[in-house]
Structure 1
Amino acid sequence: MTYPLPDLSAPDWTPLLAGLLEATALAIGRLDARVSGASTRWSWVERASWIGFTEARRGQGAEIDEIDIFALACGVAVPGRGPPAFAADEHAALAAWQAALARPDGRHWRELIPVTLNLPPEWSDRPALLRALELTAIHARADRSAAPWLGIPSLLKALGVTRTPLPCLVAADKALRYAPRDRRAIVPRYLKALTKAAEDGLERLNAVEGDRTRAAATLGAARRPGKLVSLVVLLQRRPLLSPLYVSRTLGLTISGAGKLLTRAAHQGLVVEISGRQAWRAYLAPDLAVKFGFAAQPAGRPSRLPEPDARALARFDDEMAEIDAMLAALGVIVELTQ
């Protein structure tokens, strides 16, 4: 016997489910507000796209780690890790999704779901987060690719949940494809996944902003910062670096790039993750901890230094130059409008 599929936008309400919905909306709202006014917005959005893309690929059954996508996007091999176990065209797929996010998108949410929709009259009165879940489920049953998962950030924006697409808000759930019948399990799982993604995204944003402030303070105190300014700005865009990548991007010799990275490591601006490998690689400090290459500092987090207005202004000017360099190399440097 064939049973009708439940409408995930109209669950059986309980106090617990209502609390989960409120918590998710608050978490997404906090992240959306912070990202909209953050000075490190573009740096965060790019990293967030790598996080969201990883989640979407995992939803397709790919056995990959987040650091594999970071390495793919940064063009730097991670010492000690074998070749990533995913298709060679992943880089093109990631770039295509980033390009789609970068376009000003005034499309109606109906245009984001490439199937015929037969929705109830009271549809618009239902919570936008649950409408997004139901639309994603419809899309996932019609399209077996990663497109339904990657479409969630744009869908949330089109439904008015966020001001711009937040690429980390990807929640891939295979159960949506296999005739989901139990709303009591699927809806809470979806809300919890989005809440965690939003909270993690806010933590990443705090880390990027902290890196910027500490780097500006270090540069402001340095007597001869030289190319160190360009390096720490590049690190905002490419948090995984190698001497070869730095030399190619900043126009240095490989030896000079290696010395520059060593200097940055001594000042705590990067963490070397090479170990005993012959080639060297460096990560932003927060990611080194996140990916297990460095221990979490003990005790309470150190207080951020007071912002140096002149150093921050120089930092931002240098960021524009680095963006121009990356754009010349074919790298998308602004993912939202």
Structure 2
Amino acid sequence: MVSAIASASSAIAALNARISVSPVASAWQRRASWSGYARALQLQSAEVDEIDLFSWGCGLQIAGRARQSTTLDMFDRFEEWSTALADRDQLNWRGRVPADRADQRDAKQHPHLIQAFERVRLHARTDSTILPWLGLPFALRDLGLSAAPLPSLAGGVKAFRLKGTPGPDDWHAAISSLGAAARTSLERLDHLERQRRDALRAVAAEYRPGALIRLFALLQHRPLVSPQGISKMLGMSVAGASKLLERAVNADMLVEITARRSWRQFLTPDLAAEFGFITRPVGRPRSEPPPLPPTRDLGETFDAFDQEMAAIDALLAGIGQRSAS
């Protein structure tokens, strides 16, 4: 148990330190919220996989995946949670959590990680909704384990709700799963940052990059795309969007996950491998090319890419707010 606590705490600390200075923090936050919400839905016994949340978040039904039930809105709490994650008021979420109880005060003699899970456990015993599982990132933040809520760390174990007194195995499972989630989040942050660097290299290598900059910036926030979606987002014809996506495939920035001529769908290579659409590469990871030599043109490309990322982030946030209202 001590080893599991130390390992999970170390992984959370590393993720917290990295995300605070990452140039892709906003894009990671959006993807991490899909991952965390998927885990919370699974604890509610919903028949959903993580890829289904990415599909929902990107607004694209993946071919071959079963459609979600229309009689029950599994995502009804997502916008509320997403808004709370971005709220700088640390008291915002605490109004949803039960008041401090004697057994919760007794937990203060334990490590902070155990205290965070104890908050989730007590909340889950009095609230049968998804909210207790979504509250773990806020508990970790409140106890100083992270500077801000890390949405991919939502979760817990079903025993917190079903058992009056969870056993050591239940606590160990909760801590181990949290550590695994933090390590997976770090790996995905690595992939996202490398994707940004690869995108900049691909743009710099193009004689006329055109809309590639906007597409690569969009892929940071929406890794699952189709020609029809790109056509709407970037204001071009479907044929033009298809050609643009082919250029991204040739630059190893996308892989096609459908085998058909119409309604094609594309996913970033890291997630395509993780979700089983392509075979994971074996052996040592491919070495990264050396950094490009600094030039004025390259600096302008970096600036243009970051500006496009910020613009798309604002655009997607606006779409989310309109959908919520």
Fold shared, TM-score > 0.5 on shorter chain: yes
- Residue 30 of structure 1 aligns with an amino acid whose one-letter code is A
CA drift at 1:84: 2.4
1:223 pairs with one of 207, 210, 214: 207
Which stretch shows the higher mean deviation, 163-172 or 227-236?
A: 163-172
The alpha-carbon deviation at position 35 of structure 1 amounts to: 0.9
Q: CA deviation at 1:329?
A: 2.8
| Structure 1: gaps spanning 5 or more residues | 1-16, 333-337
SS of 2:279's equivalent? coil
CA distance in 2, matches of 1:157, 1:120: 17
Q: Deviations over 1:138-197 (max 9, x none)?
A: 100100011000010011101111111011112231111123434321211111011101
User: 1:105, CA displacement in angstroms?
Assistant: 2.8
User: Do 2:217 and 2:312's aligned partners in 1 also have CA atoms closer than 8 Å?
Assistant: yes
Q: CA deviation at 1:118?
A: 1.9
Regions of 4+ moved over 6 Å: none
> 2:313 aligned with 1:323, yes or no?
yes
On the 8 A contact 2:33/2:151 being kept in 1, the answer is: yes
Name the structure 1 match of 2:295: none
Matched residue, 1:266: 250
Instruction: Name the amino acid aligned to 2:311.
Output: E
One of 118, 123, 129 as aligned partner of 1:139? 123
The one-letter code of the counterpart of 1:323 is D
What is the SS of the residue equivalent to 1:168? helix
Does residue 166 (structure 1) correspond to residue 150 (structure 2)? The answer is yes
Q: Which structure 2 residues correspond to residues 61-210 of structure 1 after superposition, within 5 A? A: 61-85=45-69, 89-107=73-91, 111=95, 113-115=97-99, 117-119=101-103, 123-210=107-194
Q: Does 1:313 align with 2:297?
A: no
How far apart in 2 are the matches of 1:86 and 1:289?
Answer: 29
TM-score normalized by the length of structure 1 = 0.88
AA paired with 1:216? L
Per-residue deviation at 1:328? Answer: 4.2
Distance 1:184 1:330 in 2: 41
Seen in structure 2, the aligned counterparts of structure 1 residues 276 and 183 have a Cα distance that, compared at 3 Å, is same
For CA contacts below 8 A with separation 6 or more, give which structure has more relative contact order: 1
1:268-311 Cα deviation digits (max 9, x unpaired): 11111112373111101100101111111233212223344523
CA contact (8 A) 2:84 2:93 kept: no
RMSD (Å) for aligned C-alpha atoms? 2.1
Instruction: Pick one of 228, 234, 248 that aligns with 2:218.
Output: 234
> In structure 2, the residue corresponding to 1:294 is in which secondary structure?
coil
2:3, 2:132 → 1: CA distance? 26
1:284 matched to 2:268? The reply is yes
Deviation of 1:56 (Å) = 0.3
Please identify, of 297-306 and 25-34, the stretch whose mean Cα deviation from structure 2 is larger. 297-306
Percent identity for Structure 1 against Structure 2:
39
| Inter-partner Cα distance in structure 1 for 2:233 and 2:138 | 32
How far did residue 130 of structure 1 move? Answer: 0.5
- TM-score, normalised on structure 2? 0.91
1:86–1:124 distance in 2 versus 1, CA, 3 Å: farther
Moved more, 19-28 or 104-113: 104-113
- How far residue 108 of structure 1 moved from its aligned partner, in angstroms, is 8.9
Q: 1:44-72 CA distances to partner (integer Å, 9 max, x unpaired)? A: 11111100000000000001111111111
CA contact (8 A) 1:114 1:139 kept: yes
Aligned length: 316
Task: Quote the Cα distance in structure 2 between the aligned partners of 1:121 and 1:65.
Answer: 36
Amino acid at match of 1:243: P
